[in-house]
Structure 1
Amino acid sequence: MAFTVRDFEDLTRLLDKHPEWLEALRQRLLTKELLQVPKTLRGLSTRMGKVEKSLESLSQTVQTLAQSVAALAEAQRRHYEEFAAHRQEFLAYRQETERRFAELAEAQRRTEERVGRLEEAVAALAEAQRRHYEEFAAHRQEFLAYREETERRFAQLREELATYRAETDRRFAELAEAQRRTEERVGRLEEAVAALAEAQRRHYEEFAAHRQEFLAYREETERRFAELAEAQRQTQLQIQELVQTVGEIRSDLGHMRSTLDRFAQVIGSAVEERMIPALRAWVESQGGTLLGPVVSMTLDGIGEVDGVAQVRWPDGREGWLLVTAKTKVWPRSIEEFVKEILTHPQARRALREKGVRDPVWPVVFGLTIDDRAPKAADTAKVGLLSSQEGIIVPPVPWSLEQGTFLSD
């Protein structure tokens, strides 16, 4: 039969009269799971309290970590500012050093032009400076590579922090598992931060050592500059002494040159006096006739011909004799006569302007003759005349217009 409202009211009145029946009725109406709900809620409330405490502790840890990272970043910034200031100081000092080296190199170049003995010392100094700069450049490259690695590790740390935040947000629903994983990651991050701080400390120690090395290097450079300046001063004193000595030598050479010039004039006049009769005797022996006196001819600073005379030969040909006189005739004497008179364009033009016309017969006269001179004269097509033996190599006609000998 159906259970009606009246029955329910009767049941309610009975339960009011017998409260002990409520527990039995509850056991009949509620399932085991529903009976465990209050206990479960109390346990869940307890766990939620623990989770909230863990979250609060985690928040404090993250805040502490953020403060540590900020402090480390501030220390890195101050360190970089110190490094930048030191680098500016180093660049300014290096620029000043290079400027001073440039000035010193210029002074040294002038010194080397006057005193050749300083060249090896300056070259050794330049080589040592180059090696020092190469060593410093290599050290600077190592330092830049280390700084780049530090910045890369900072970037990696920032990336890990960002990943950590994303991971925390994504797994917040799984509180217990997320708590365990977060604590593990926080531990690793603390280790990474500690390692980074240690690396930073070592970096600063290396920087301090490098700065001490730089200060020592600068002190050594200043000392070497002082030594070089003293060497320069000593060199200047030596140069002054050398200039004084050279002045005395030049004075003695001037007196000697004046004496030699007077002696050369005397010897030259004597050789030319011997040349004229020897030349006349040779022309007459060939049946020729000198149509004028044998004179010397200066070619306006280009050179000088010791003997110039117009001649007529037995066959009726007329021309000019060009004679250079030497105390002793060497092969080079003949080569110089050909190069400086017979083939020289300005000398040939000057002879034509003074009235000398083609053909000409070039002759080299000497008081004595080197044994190689006849062959050189025959090859050059130039006559060779001795004061004692007469003509040794007969001359052939030349053309001043063409600057070469003429074929018979």
Structure 2
Amino acid sequence: MSSESARVCWPVPASLSRPDGPSCSPLARSKIRQGKSMAVSETSITSEKRFSDLWERSLELRPDVVDGDGNSYEVIFPGVRNQAAGPDFRGAVLRRDGRTFGGDVELHLEQSGWRAHGHHADPAYDGVVLQVVLRLARNSDHFTGPPTATATFPERLVESPSLPEISPSDLEALGIQRFFAKSAGFRLELDAGVSPDQVVYQGMMEAMGYARNRKPFLALSRSAPLLLFTQLRDEPRRTAEFGVFAALAAAGNVLERITPPERGQIRRVASRLGACSRLSGHDWSMFRVRPGAGPVNRMRAIAFIIAAGLGESLSERMQAVFECGGANGLVRVVADAPHIGRGFALVIASNVLLPCLYAIHPSDGIISEFRKMPSPPSDSVTRGIAKVLGERIRPANAAQHSGLHALAKSRSWPGRN
């Protein structure tokens, strides 16, 4: 994909105008008209992390972003800081020559960083619409890559442009909409003939991958379906748990991440169950993945949950837990598994189990429990938006937390193209 094709026109609200617009205070407008930016010194930047910290505050700091031909770029939205592999910022919105466009932004101290880091050969960077650097190369005319501009960050008495006001009730409404959208996705699976138990299992498996490994975990749930484990229903609990884990580890091709003594036993058990390798070991990402959150430990966690109820329907079991203990009951079932913890259990219960149960048996009680659930821990998306909003929004419940995610993907939010 070329940088031109990645650019997307974006209608920008008046409230996101330049700082000399109506959202700026009279004092700041006066200083700008007089050409007094009150610049003390240009910020000293010695690392890409420091560069990223400053770029994330672009709405506040208003950097001068200029390319080698003297064209200026206005930062409407710096994008959401990317914690995974790929460009530094996702979904930025920029304006040049009166044209507004969106895409990804990559930061480097030197222009040569683009090729030095191998981005020119990595499809993950095809959506980069601007490389922002501190220093252009002397032969920048011969540079092959996305448009490149330098950024300077003077200290200015300029207020950041005001963003649309977002109230907690607005966030909650967005979160409820996102809940219904997730539930509708599960309903499509059911309508396509997938069993309720398999739908719940697939949803939990995908969630186990969190941000980095969602796709391989979803693929694994289909190559090692829940029905495979019914062979273990008459086994003792610990034996069944190891059997489920062995089947997942073999089908997921993660045996090289397991110590040799256990590896041989896994192969024997997986062979008896008929589990075979369907994924490549390269399908799994370990980039910025905590050891406890890696695929092997997450497979152990889901094996614990599945083995606890092999003699009964998974979906009916979760429904019974909900009817007895509400959303907190579902959280406890997941949190009891090894390598999970309450925070991640909240994520799974609010994003998978409740929407799944609603798809199977819609009820107002499920929505009510969703609104009462505590907020899951903050993540890169919610932290990024909170910084842009000036920490004005702190989700009080799961619905508001989900609303922040919905806002990040909404066309009413700058940076979504």
Normalising by structure 2, what TM-score? 0.20
- Which structure has greater helix proportion? 1
Max Rg structure: 1
Normalising by structure 1, what TM-score? 0.20
Asked which structure has the greater RCO (Cα within 8 Å, sep 6+), the reply is 2
